[in-house]
Structure 1
Amino acid sequence: MGLQSALSTALTGMTAAETSIDVAGNNVANANTVGFKESSVNFATQFLQTQSIGSAPTGSRGGTNPRQIGLGAKVAEITPKFTQGTIEISSNPLDLAIQGDGFFIVQGPQGEQLYTRNGQFKTNANNEIVTLTGHRVLGYSVDANFDIQPTGLSPIQIPLGAAAVAQATENVILKGALNPNSTVGSIPEIIQSGILSDGSREVPVGVPEALSLARPSDVITFGSTAGATLPAGTYNYRIVYVDSSGNEGPASNIADTALGAGAASINLSAIPQSADPDFTQIRIYRNNPAVNTEYRLAGTIPAGTTTYSDSTSAATIAGNALLNEDTLGNNSYSYYVTFVNSSTGAESRPTARFGPITADSINQPRIRLDDIPQPSGTGEYDQIKIYRNVANNPTKFYEVAQIGTGVSFIDSTPDADITGNPEINLEGPPINFGMALVDVVSRSGADYNHLFDEGVLTFSGDKGGRQLAERSLTITAATTVQDLLTFMDESMGVLKSAPEATFPDSVSYGGTIVDSRLQFTSNMGIENALGVDLSAFRFTPTGGTTEVVQLPFTTVQEANGEGATADFVVYDSLGTPINVRVTTVLESVDATGARFRWIATSPQNAEETGVNIEVGTGVITTDGDGKFVSATDDRIAIGRGQSPANSPLEFQLNFNQVTGLAEDENSLAAASQDGFPAGTLTSFIITESGRIQGVFSNGSSRDLGQLRMARFANNGGLQQVGDNMFSTGVNSGLPIEGNPGGGGMGAVTTGAVELSNTDIGQNLIELILASTQYRGGARVITAVQQLLDELLALRR
């Protein structure tokens, strides 16, 4: 048995040496494998052959030891050494190294959990973090709001370029200094447009025909009839032509004749005729010989009649009409014609100015207007007014006459007789709140223009000298002047009233109509002063080209009350930037402190007609030391209209850093706000605790996931399954999960890897020892073989 057992014993030693060589070879082979843990082989003796169990000491004998012969060696354990490997920096942000105990948790091919120390990670086509061998790294994921969801392990994603994030503003911090020694706002800015008129009213169409009228000829043949009816004396005659409307032209010069005693009548023949067929009659005026300068109507003959016999005594004509000898001066005259309602006094817009027509007090002393425009007969107007300038002021037009319809007019009124009469209103009928906007007319010189039509009107005013955002109004046939006033109020953010305001109650803020003008009263303070420049209105008619609306405004009262303005941007829930402006003005001051009115406006407040851009107002109170005391109504709400963002956007204005010190100038600015616009994921970092934080293009950061790790009571009890992976073994204990750096877990170093802990020198020594052991075992077998050969040789 001895030699046979020696063979098997030597064989076990050689087998053990082979195992040592295998393990050492594996260690050396994985010397460059990241996260690899080298193994060591531990041996134990195999079964023993007991020849004697020995004896205990007695009184006569000292005792003997057992006699046992070993039967070889066996591999008792092949154990990985989980000592810390060297940490080496890498350029990959997904490379992770564990410093301390624990393993990364990954997903196996069957959905099972595996564990590894190799932190060389990358992303796949689904933006998931995976190992080099394609195993998904597990941890806590995030929900739509980027909040960690610690409800179970799942693959972690880093959606670079795909994930987007925005945050609505919740707080805005303002800082600055508001001077309590500045002027209290008590006078508002007032601006107004030019005079506008109602273009829906009837307008005289066309212009009359104007003609200078010459005197009739005074060449008349005289004769007499014998008798004693007329007393002796000198009789002077003057004739005038009369048109179909009863208007007299200028009188001829004097034609006279001497009459002796005893005449019965004076016969006029060869009476000159008018070439104008509209003059249908000739009136003959005669003097009273006793009063040579007084001419009274002696008789009337039809046009075309060239003779007339005058036998009327002076007493008889004394009650007849006097000759109108008024004449126009030596001047050029122009005219306007309007329609008028004789009952209400309502008057139309005038015709275009017509003329000038030259008058000559000697030869052509009167002017005849014919073909005068007539009212339509609707009943709105029933008479006609005629206006004329005067010689010493050609731009002043005074009422000359008011005539009925269907007649002509001959002007003979001297300038002195009309200078006290009403002047013409070139603007026309005044506008009112309820009239259609498309009927609004403005005058430029002699031209009358409709300002609006059906289409889209855009408007951009200014406030405190700062341009306001453009807003639009769709004009239809039903849009009124009041609609325009409301639209402009909303666009410029006029605050109609304010709680606890100390502004004068007599002031009516916003738009109204004054003297047929659009007039706007600003809120108190220079920073709230309204303005409308020449290009503020742009109109695009339906299917037409955009043009500037000529509706200029001028300042008729300047505001007082210094203040400050802060312009800043906030963000809604979709990350849309929203412009906000906060203006201030000193509202009141007393021995206890100062109170400043603030008004907030936003052009994006719903961005639709019917909503004012004013979004908040309140009072900032400071004490006698200039310290902030309180701010009222400091929460702002901005409607988002048709936007899918959460509406309204609400945020807090924090005025705690605003002081009431007597600085040289008022100042106000937004120090910070906590919202940000939409941004895409551009990069990420992984912290020592395994928290994955994404950095977005808008500068914000959000959690993308949480790496989880596991540790075991006995790492050596883990079962290696290849690909640097371990699985739970029967002697490893259950995995204990936790975040890196906590609960006994090692910390994570980003951008680094843990190298293999293989000690090549030690493994080479062990390789030499194992090969020596192997050769020794071979020599034992050789020796036994020689002994067996000697034993077999005894047969010979």
Structure 2
Amino acid sequence: MGLGTSLYTSLSGLTASTHMLSVAGNNIANVNTTAYKRSQITFETQISQTLKSGSSPTDILGGTNPAQVGLGVRLGSIQKNFESGTPQPTGVSTNMAIDGNGFFIVENNGSRFFTRDGSFVLDRNFNLVMPSSGSRVMGYPIDDEFNVIEGVLQPLNIPIGIMTISEQTNNVNLSGNLNAGGDIGTRGSIIETQQMFSDAAATTDAVPGTALTSLFRADGTPLFATGDIISLEGATKGGAQVTTMKFEVGGAITADGVDDSGTTLQDLMDFFQHSMGVDTVAPDGAGVSLSGGVMTITGNYGEGNDLEIEDGNVVVNKGASPSIPFALSKTQSADGESSKTSFVVYDSLGNPLKTSITMVLEEKSDAGTRWRFYANSNEDTDVDTVIGTGTLLFDNQGQILGANDAQLIFNRDGTGAETPQAVNLLFDAPNGQITALQDDRDQISMILQDGSALGTLEDFTVSQDGSITGSFSNSLLRNLGRVPLAMFANNPGLVDVGGNTYRPSTNSGIPVIVSPTTGGSGKVIGRAVEASNVDVAEEFLNLINANTGFSANSRVISTTNQMIQELLSTVR
């Protein structure tokens, strides 16, 4: 009986050593497996045989302990150790590691699984997937405004090189100094034409309502005919050349590249006013007028608004049978301290809109100075290039007190972009204010604007809270989604289904989806993967223990066998 028991217990010991060897060997085999969790094995006694019961103490005898003989060992449990492995940087934007207790959520053929392996890649459809199985990583998508929609799990899609965005400009910050020691603007440019008549006999002065086909020189020569193209090119404003514009004589535009049309002298006068960027809202008397048959173009105050239009700048049918309709003369130049700057803003489609602003000293007083700005843009889709005017007030320390009507309005009809587009001018932003101090020169510039041209998604990063932020070629950063994590009440209760993935069991609890860094889920580390948590030194110790146990139990079996043989010999 004793020898048989010894043989049985030693055989169970051999089995236990084999189990220990198997677990240690599997841990060592997966020492380089991404996010592998080492298995731990425990044993327990199988059966205990009581040879003699214990007794309690009496008045004359002490108590005795029970006499028991163990009948072997059996497997207690094999469970995984879910301590986090060390994050290993990879530099790959699609890779992620978890420093905490959470799990990534993946989907395969409609079934959800959970993994700590964040060695994800992008497939040809730009879905974030596990490279071996193609299981898609689930996360929170974004809406049209790039806001994350929590609570709705969808496959994460990151279309690098495909997604494009632009940003409409809403605000422009301007900074610099205006020379408060300059002269106040008191007059604008004046440019006059020769006298025009409404009859060939040159007896009746032309009036605004006179038909363009009924305009005559003093010698009776007609100025225009229906279909004539009048080009304004080479004229300057504040020393900068004005964009060429064309006007067609007639009720509608019939030729390519023409900006405006009309039938009366008033229509042509409006064309000159708009194309030269003369602002009639400002209270300086600027505009285009007609008196005694003479057309007068009066510019705005300020040297930066000074107009130059020579005879050859207004041409009829240039390139075919060109003629010069007007004899132009400049009778007055603009004065007034001025500062000019140009910058680019963007419409809702990312189209660049070049804009120029001229600041003119309008008033000086004991309280400070007042400046007026004049804004123009040739990108405005109507003929009028004026897009705004307003004033800036400064105290007697040169510090800005405020601005009035500091908004530009762009007409974008027919472009597909949002229209009209309003752009706010910020002259007193915390990161750069305009001052009006005595200086040798004026210098203002745009230091910031919140719009951007068209840009393509080039790269992305994943932050600790799981947010995926895309980097576009136009330097914009936008949310592309968020990676949530799943939490379980009992991680060792998960069932390992291979491929570094798990599924819930009755003892793991149901998955609770949370955002990273909350509820103990841990943080997400981008451009890294989690290493195995196997301790090779410890596993080698387990191998030695398994080998020692196996050898010892084998020795017990061989000794038992010798004793049985000796017993049989004695019987014979």
Query: Fold-level match, TM-score > 0.5?
Result: yes
Cα pair distance change 1:740/1:553, threshold 3 Å? farther
Q: Which has the higher strand share?
A: 1
Instruction: Please report how far the alpha carbon of residue 165 of structure 1 lies from its aligned counterpart in structure 2 after TM superposition.
Output: 1.6
709-718 or 630-639, which deviates more? 709-718
- Which of 507, 529, 540 is equivalent to 2:306? 529
Q: CA deviation at 1:779?
A: 4.1
Whether 1:651 and 2:427 are equivalent positions in the alignment is no
Say yes or no: does 1:454 pair with 2:227: yes
The 1:456/1:716 distance shift into structure 2, 3 A limit, reads: farther
Question: Matches of 1:533 and 1:696 in 2, distance apart?
Answer: 47
Matched to 2:73, the amino acid is A
Q: Please give the residue correspondences for 1:505-544 in structure 2 after superposition, counting only pairs within 5 Å.
A: 507=285, 509-533=286-310, 536-537=313-314
Offset, 1:129: 1.4
Q: 1:571 to 1:782 in 2, by over 3 A?
A: same
Match of residue 280 from structure 2: 496
User: 1:608 pairs with 382, 387, 401, which one?
Assistant: 382
Partner of 1:764: 540
- SS of 1:569's equivalent in the other structure is strand
Contact 2:103 2:487 in 1 (8 A): no
Q: Per-residue deviation at 1:729?
A: 3.3
Pairing 1:728–2:504 present: yes
| Residue 122 (structure 1) aligns with | 121
User: Hey, what does 1:678 align to over in structure 2?
Assistant: 454
2:41 corresponds to which residue?
A: 41
Q: CA RMSD in A?
A: 3.0
Partner of 1:13: 13
1:67 aligns with 2:63: no
Shift of 1:741: 3.6
Structure 1 Cα separation of the partners of residues 468 and 322 of structure 2: 56
Which whole-Å CA distance do the structure 2 matches of 1:463 and 1:783 have between them? 114
Identity %: 34
Q: Cα–Cα, structure 1 residues 476 and 13, in superposed 2: closer, same or farther, change >3 Å?
A: same
Segments of structure 2 that go 5 or more residues without pairing to the other structure are 252-261
SS in 2 for 1:14: helix
Bigger-Rg structure (1/2): 1
The residue that corresponds to 2:159 in the other structure is 159
For residues 191-232 of structure 1, the C-alpha deviation after alignment (integer angstroms, 9 at most, x for no partner) is: 12345565xx56xxxxxxxxxxxxxxxxxxxxxxxxxxxxxx
- Equivalent positions of 1:614-625 (< 5 A) are 614-625=386-397
SS of 1:575 mapped into structure 2: coil
In the superposition, relative to structure 1, how do residues 105 and 86 fare at CA in structure 2: closer, same or farther (>3 Å)? closer
Q: Point out where structure 1 has 5 or more consecutive residues left out of the alignment.
A: 203-346, 349-427
User: 398, 404, 414: which is aligned to 1:626?
Assistant: 398
Counterpart of 1:22?
22
2:102 corresponding residue in structure 1: 103
How many Å separate the matches in 2 of 1:727 and 1:29? Answer: 23
Counterpart Cα distance in 1 of 2:7 and 2:109: 47
The superposition leaves residues 128-177 of structure 1 with CA deviations (integer Å, 9 ceiling, x where unpaired) of: 21122222222222122211111322222221111112222222122232
Matched length: 556
Alignment of 1:696 with 2:469, yes or no, is no
Note if contact 2:121-2:131 (Cα within 8 Å) is conserved in structure 1.
yes
Q: 1:457 to 1:774 in 2, by over 3 A?
A: farther
Pick closer, same or farther for the CA change 1:475–1:9 going to 2, 3 Å.
farther
2:365 pairs, out of 569, 587, 590, with 590
What amino acid is the match of 1:559?
A: A
Within the candidate set 402, 405, 411, 1:639 is matched to 411
1:565 CA displacement: 1.6
The 5-angstrom pairing of residues 51-62 of structure 1 reads 51-62=51-62
| Superposed displacement of residue 30, structure 1 | 0.8
Render the CA deviation track for 1:472-510: whole Å, top value 9, x for unaligned: 434326622211111121222222234xx4x4xxx4x32
8 A contact 1:567–1:669 mirrored in 2: yes
Name the SS of the counterpart of 1:564 in structure 2: strand
Q: State whether residues 140 and 150 of structure 1, in contact with CA within 8 Å, keep that contact through their aligned partners in structure 2.
A: yes
Verify the 8 A CA contact 1:564 1:668 in the aligned structure 2.
Answer: yes
Gap change, CA 1:546 and 1:114, over 3 Å in 2? farther
User: How far 1:515 sits from its partner (Å)?
Assistant: 4.7
Cα pair distance change 1:15/1:552, threshold 3 Å: farther
Q: Is the 8 A contact 2:130 2:137 kept in 1?
A: yes
Alignment match of 1:480 (pick from 264, 269, 284)? 264
Question: Per the alignment, do residues 693 and 429 of structure 1 end up closer, same or farther by CA in structure 2, a change over 3 Å counting?
Answer: same
TM-score by length of 2: 0.88
Q: Distance in 2 between matches of 1:482 and 1:765?
A: 101
> TM-score, length-normalised on structure 1?
0.64
Residues 512, 63 of structure 1: CA spacing in aligned structure 2 closer, same or farther, 3 A cutoff? same
Matched residue of 1:497: which SS? coil
* 1:267-278 map, 5 Å: none
